[in-house]
Amino acid sequence: MASIDEVKINVEKGKPKWVPDLVQKALDEGNKAGDILDVMVAGMGVVGERFSSGQIFVPEMLMAAKAMAKGVEVLKPHMADHASASLGICVIGTVKGDLHDIGKNLVAMMVESAGFTMVDLGVDVPVEKFIEAIKNNKDVKLVACSGLLTTTKPMMKNTVNTLKTSGLSGFKILVGGAPVTQEFADEIGADAYAEDAGSAAIKAKELVMAI
Amino acid sequence: MNRPKYDHVKEHEIIGIYPGAPSVEVGALKGFPDAPKFFRPIERRENFKMFFQDKTPYWQPTCGWLFCDVHPFRPRQQPDNFANRQPLDGGPAIDYKATGNTIKGWFDLDYQWEDTAGGSTVKPGLIKVPDINKWEEFISMPNLDDLDWNGVEKDNKVYLDHDKAIQLGIQFGMWERLMNIMGVSDAAMALIDEDQQDGVHRFFDRLADLYVDYIQRMYNIVRIDSVFFHDDWGTHTGPFFSLDTCLEMIVPYTKRVIDACHKLDIIVEHHCCGKADLLVPAMIEEGSDFWLPQPSLHDLDAMIEKYNGSYTFALGSPLLTADMSEEHVRKMAKEWFEKYKDKKVLLTANIDPNDEMDFMNFLIFDDAVYELSRLYYQDAE
């Protein structure tokens, strides 16, 4: 089996110990860095589908994301223009009043693995901080808002509303979290809703392609 | 011996109070109120225990925190209870403005209170153990000799002096404790990473010892009928981890704690938020006695049918909103009881945070189910 194929398989299996050497081997065999990155992104796509369908769980998905991150570290010096390989910047955060970061972190990893550069604002993020991040980073294509608590749904609504009326443009808004539904996302004017981290990565790509 | 026939007047007679807990804060609730004590033909804890001994209870057993057969007990002397603003005990009211929003629990962890959520969490970003293989270098097991056991006994003489089943709460089970010390992502990976699993096993092994010792010491000084073992295994869409991972990494240790409880005739509730029906086989394997699945996330009837008495579920009542009439609520209670009276389930108030549950209407529902079940079971041996 060619090393580049092994890279994909070991990303899917979540083997951070093996992926860096396999990436190096694939480079040594003459594969282009961009092609190796593509197979890792494809591997993470498979991981996302398996997670969404309940075949794998949070630990397996995290290990896969870690494996990919380790592979990317090896690739970085070989990427002529790493930024150009990015689908753009995704600003992500859990909305103000909510300290939960599990779902937000999973989404960040999966969206990053799909090819975005992440700006993670953490938890308890006021809308002003989202706006500041959009202003301070060129090429923000996506803003992802997370929330676990029913009590912070009004804050998510406020965040989306403020971003939409801020005069800033060029980005789409993705929302998700336990109390969030497609209906709620539609009601507050978000551009998309994702049920889990795997589908968030797919939605993120779809949204950016549509810009 | 024949059971006394249901006496509507006598069994609505208030004969005392169950003491509230002034210092607990959960969600929008600040302190639990005193609750009326009605006459019952046997002690409520006895009825609760009969249910788990496969005997026909005198009435439909109920569980939960308020207005049920269970009386939650989480003494403030255990630091996690204090740090999470969940002292369910008989001590004086605590002024949380004076204590501040960040309080230390076991393992020297800072817990931060969030008003909007009405709950605490480990301070975001705090990673106490960066390498689980070396956890002993970063944390040490709490010394139970340091707890103010005399204070526990002294504070709770009245709080625990009644007929309800006293339920000792353990705030963090194996998985939650691992998350607390490592952060969620690293903890999740440690469960399946062969390079970290030895460290996890070593930590859980000591943690199980700690909990067994804690429960035993508590049992030695106050009456404990049940343990509430809090370990959230579910997210809103499914389990955090696979059944295989759970069986391999977590169950051996929860089973040890639960076995120790059973030796003391203590009933164990495995508290688990999130969607976790795929992990019921792990709950059976660990030996816990019941679980309250979140009603909105599970097909409870399908689960009851699937497990067919091999595991006990606590069912949330139907959603009872403030606009419902008493007549309507009693009709719903009758339908509920007819459906579940022979299914060996527990009843509790529907507490789904997404729902607008009206507790006054739950009291009517609970009263109706009590009456129906007393009449239904009164001729049992």
**Which residue among B125, B192, B278 places its CB closest to the CB of A63?**
B192
Query: In degrees, to the nearest 5, what angle opens at C-alpha B319 toward C-alphas B329 and B22?
Result: 95
What ipTM did this prediction achieve?
Answer: 0.92
**How far is the C-alpha of B235 from the C-alpha of B184, rounded, in Å?**
12
**Which residue among B114, B189, B353 places its CB closest to the CB of A99?**
B114
DSSP B66-123: SSSSEEEEB-TTSHHHHHTT--BSSSPPP-HHHH-SEEE-GGG-EEEEETTTTEEEEP
| Model pLDDT, residue A83 | 47
Chain B contact for A63 (CB, 8 A cutoff): yes
Quickly tell me which residue has 């997670």 as its tokens.
A51
Interface with chain B: mutation pick from A56, A151, A159, highest number of B CBs within 10 Å: A151
Query: Given pLDDT bands bounded at 50, 70 and 90, which one contains residue B302?
Result: very high
Quickly tell me which residue has 């790509």 as its tokens.
A205
Cα–Cα distance list, B222 to A54, B62, B106, B167, B252 (Å) = 44, 22, 22, 11, 28
**How far is the C-alpha of B158 from the C-alpha of B210, rounded, in Å?**
27
Q: Which residues of B touch A97 (CB under 8 A)?
A: 114, 116-117
Q: With contact defined as beta carbons under 8 Å apart, do A73 and A112 qualify?
A: no
Report CB contact under 8 Å: B117, A152.
yes
User: Dihedral angle at the C-alpha atoms of B60, B65, B69, B71, nearest 10 degrees?
Assistant: 160
Q: Which amino acid is at A93?
A: G
Q: Which of A20-29, A98-107, A152-161, B93-102 has the lowest mean pLDDT?
A: A98-107
**Which residue among A62, A98, A102 places its CB closest to the CB of B189?**
A62
**How far is the C-alpha of B320 from the C-alpha of B349, rounded, in Å?**
9
| Model pLDDT, residue A81 | 53
| pLDDT of A148 strictly over 90 | no
Cα–Cα distance list, A156 to A99, A147, B253, B306 (Å) = 13, 7, 39, 38
B279 Cα to chain A: minimum distance (Å): 12
The number of beta carbons lying within 10 Å of the beta carbon of residue A128 is: 11
Quickly tell me which residue has 């599990």 as its tokens.
A102
| Model pLDDT, residue B116 | 75
Query: Given pLDDT bands bounded at 50, 70 and 90, which one contains residue B298?
Result: very high
Chain B contact for A159 (CB, 8 A cutoff): no
Nearest CA in chain B to A57: B241
Q: With contact defined as beta carbons under 8 Å apart, do B84 and B105 qualify?
A: yes
What is the Rg, in whole angstroms, of the alpha carbon atoms belonging to chain A? 17
**How far is the C-alpha of B140 from the C-alpha of A108, rounded, in Å?**
33
| Model pLDDT, residue B140 | 97
Report CB contact under 8 Å: A59, B191.
yes
| Model pLDDT, residue B369 | 98
Report CB contact under 8 Å: B121, A100.
yes
Q: With contact defined as beta carbons under 8 Å apart, do A171 and A200 qualify?
A: no
The number of beta carbons lying within 10 Å of the beta carbon of residue B9 is: 7
Alpha helices in A29-165 (DSSP H): 33-52, 58-75, 102-113, 127-136, 153-164
Burial class (CB in 10 A: 0-12, 13-18, 19+), B228: buried
Q: Is the pTM of this model over 0.80?
A: yes
Interface with chain B: mutation pick from A52, A57, A123, highest number of B CBs within 10 Å: A57
Query: In degrees, to the nearest 5, what angle opens at C-alpha B256 toward C-alphas B181 and B346?
Result: 95
Nearest CA in chain A to B241: A57
Summarize the confidence of residues A69-98 as an average pLDDT: 82
Nearest CA in chain A to B278: A54
Q: What is the biggest distance separating any 2 CA atoms in chain A, rounded to whole angstroms?
A: 54
| pLDDT of B206 strictly over 50 | yes
Query: Given pLDDT bands bounded at 50, 70 and 90, which one contains residue A85?
Result: low
| Model pLDDT, residue B381 | 79
Report CB contact under 8 Å: B235, A105.
no
- The conformation of residue B19, written as its DSSP 8-state character, comes to -
Q: Which residues of B touch A184 (CB under 8 A)?
A: none
Query: Given pLDDT bands bounded at 50, 70 and 90, which one contains residue A178?
Result: confident
A192, β-bridge pairs? A174
Partner A, chain B 329-368, Cβ-Cβ below 8 Å: 353-354
Residue-averaged pLDDT of chain B: 95
| Model pLDDT, residue A80 | 62
A210 Cα to chain B: minimum distance (Å): 28
Partner B, chain A 31-50, Cβ-Cβ below 8 Å: none
| pLDDT of B258 strictly over 90 | yes
| Model pLDDT, residue B353 | 60
**How far is the C-alpha of B35 from the C-alpha of B47, rounded, in Å?**
19
Cα–Cα distance list, B26 to B23, B67, B87, B146, B351 (Å) = 10, 16, 10, 27, 12
- Structure tokens given for B1: 């011996």
Q: With contact defined as beta carbons under 8 Å apart, do A27 and A78 qualify?
A: yes
| pLDDT of B379 strictly over 70 | yes
Q: With contact defined as beta carbons under 8 Å apart, do B229 and B187 qualify?
A: no
Question: Taking Cα atoms as reference points, which of A25, A64, A27 lies closest to residue A48?
Answer: A64
Q: Which amino acid is at A190?
A: A
Query: Given pLDDT bands bounded at 50, 70 and 90, which one contains residue A97?
Result: confident
Summarize the confidence of residues A2-14 as an average pLDDT: 94
Cα–Cα distance list, B279 to B222, B232, B276 (Å) = 33, 11, 5
Report CB contact under 8 Å: A152, B237.
no
Report CB contact under 8 Å: B242, A195.
no
Query: Given pLDDT bands bounded at 50, 70 and 90, which one contains residue A110?
Result: confident
DSSP A9-56: HHHHHT-TTTHHHHHHHHHHTT--HHHHHHHHHHHHHHHHHHHHTTSS
DSSP B230-252: E---BBSSSBSS-HHHIIIIIHH
| pLDDT of A36 strictly over 90 | yes
**pLDDT tens digits, residue range B113-137?**
988 778 888 987 889 999 999 999 9
Q: Categorise residue B275: left if φ over 0, alpha if ψ from -120 to 50, beta otherwise.
A: beta
Could you give the 3-state DSSP secondary structure of residue A192?
strand
